Amino acid sequence: MKTQLTLLWGALFLALPFLVSSQPTLTYPGTPPNGTQYTAQLLSNPASFTVSSGANQTWDYSNLTVDTSLLFQLQDPSSVPAATSFPAATYASQTFDADGNGSVTFTFYESNSDSLANLGFTSLQMDQQTQMLVRVTYVHSNPEVLFRYPLSYNDLSADTFVTTSNVVNGLYTQRTGSNEMAYVGYGTLQVPGATYNNVIKLTFTQTYSDSSFLDSTTGFSLFSYEAVNHYWYQPGEFTPLLALSSLTIDNGFSANTFNFTLSYPRQAASLKNFEIAQLKVFPQPASDVLYASFESQSAGKLVGELYDLNGRKLMRVLDQWTTASEQELQFSVNNLNPGVYLLKLTKGTSVVYKKIEIK
């Protein structure tokens, strides 16, 4: 289910609105800086996903409660796994798993003064039986354009996209679909603990289908999806204040709908549940010793493991106790052959991955 929601989560922080009048206009302010880190809080769902539109609206969701959190970090796309599949990417967003099951997703975007496009994503998941990393990558052969700038009140933009996955367990998947982004309202938004004025309200609708293939001619397992997402943005911010999303999945026999609500708190304290933040690994490429620096919120055991690109675990490179502070650790890599590897760091329930190069 988490893989199916990746494109939805990834779209939540993409727009970069800027207030230019009493009716805010969505314009291009530039690419967000790499290393930017923030959380999304999964909230209890409201009683209704019917949302009002229009000018000078008041949307009250102040009674919702927090269930769990997700951590996002913007990255230089060349520094993360599967970077070569997305040569046009200007930045990537890394979604950290807050549940501690070892999955991490990187979504790749191309941003310019005319538009913002989703190029695809790669997801790393731990197979609990084989203890191997499984990488699933979806590459848009026809990128999904999310925004065309500028976007004013009552404007809309639309696009079609085609995506193909890598081969996993002998199968690959092709996804085709369309989307529509509509600027439908502005006004005041109330969320738990805060009230925001001059907020932009957008509706983003995706309709797409997945077909799995054994080879170039044998296809089966057709799934169809419809996602309706309501986003609220504060002018000048590239993450939304709130997102209400509804995803319907139809497998040809039955259809199921999943609703979820995300907020993006503006306070730094929202990072407190994540034990490995602002991770940097250097030098790249390395030949003898590799250094890893990060911030941690509490003391605990840190485990580092190295994998090849086929998902096989090669060795454990770190197993030590760390304190609650900024950390810089080192380990030897002089016995590795030249190439590209994945470093997995685990502390508590936090699991993160980083691509490393050995020369």
In the predicted model, what is the mean pLDDT of the chain? 80
Predicted confidence at residue 265, as pLDDT, reads 73
Please report which confidence band the pLDDT of residue 266 belongs to, taking 50, 70 and 90 as the band edges. low
pLDDT in tens, 15-63: 434 333 478 877 776 777 776 777 788 888 888 888 999 999 999 999 9
Predicted confidence at residue 17, as pLDDT, reads 40
Residues 6+ apart with CB under 8 A from 5: 247, 258, 260
Give dist(CA 349, CA 337) in Å, integer. 31
- The answer to whether residues 15 and 199 touch, using CB atoms and an 8 Å cutoff, is no
User: Where exactly are the structural domains of the chain?
Assistant: 2-270, 275-358
Count of other CB atoms within 10 angstroms of residue 314: 13
Give dist(CA 305, CA 67) in Å, integer. 30
Give dist(CA 354, CA 124) in Å, integer. 11
Please report which confidence band the pLDDT of residue 348 belongs to, taking 50, 70 and 90 as the band edges. confident
Q: Give the mean model confidence (pLDDT) for residues 341-356.
A: 78
Residue type, 86: F
Residue 23 tokens read as 């009716």
Predicted confidence at residue 119, as pLDDT, reads 96
Please report which confidence band the pLDDT of residue 135 belongs to, taking 50, 70 and 90 as the band edges. confident
Of residues 276 and 228, the one with the higher pLDDT is 228
pLDDT in tens, 165-224: 887 767 788 899 999 999 999 999 999 888 999 899 999 999 999 888 766 666 666 889
CA angle 76, 5, 51 (to 5 degrees): 110
Residue type, 3: T
Predicted confidence at residue 275, as pLDDT, reads 64
Please report which confidence band the pLDDT of residue 97 belongs to, taking 50, 70 and 90 as the band edges. low
Predicted confidence at residue 319, as pLDDT, reads 85
Task: For residue 225, give the nearest of 185, 177, 166, 259 by alpha carbon.
Answer: 177
Predicted confidence at residue 140, as pLDDT, reads 92
Q: Give the mean model confidence (pLDDT) for residues 224-245.
A: 88
Interstrand relation of 300-307 and 255-263 (parallel, antiparallel or unpaired): unpaired
Q: Give the mean model confidence (pLDDT) for residues 132-136.
A: 80
Which segment, 66-70, 126-130, 189-193, 270-274, is predicted with the most confidence on average? 189-193
Task: For residue 10, give the nearest of 68, 73, 88, 103 by alpha carbon.
Answer: 73
Measured CA to CA in angstroms, residue 194 lies from 63, 118, 180, 222 at distances of 11, 31, 29, 43
CA angle 261, 222, 179 (to 5 degrees): 45
Which segment, 84-88, 134-138, 273-277, is predicted with the most confidence on average? 84-88
Q: With 60 as the cut, is the pLDDT of residue 126 above it? A: yes
Give dist(CA 275, CA 96) in Å, integer. 11
Please report which confidence band the pLDDT of residue 13 belongs to, taking 50, 70 and 90 as the band edges. very low
Residue 130 tokens read as 């084989």
Q: With 50 as the cut, is the pLDDT of residue 71 above it? A: yes
Of residues 8 and 324, the one with the higher pLDDT is 324
CATH architecture under which domain 275-358 falls: Sandwich (2.60)
Helix (H/G/I), strand (E/B), else coil: 208: strand
Residue 256 tokens read as 């199921």
Predicted confidence at residue 22, as pLDDT, reads 73
Predicted confidence at residue 217, as pLDDT, reads 62
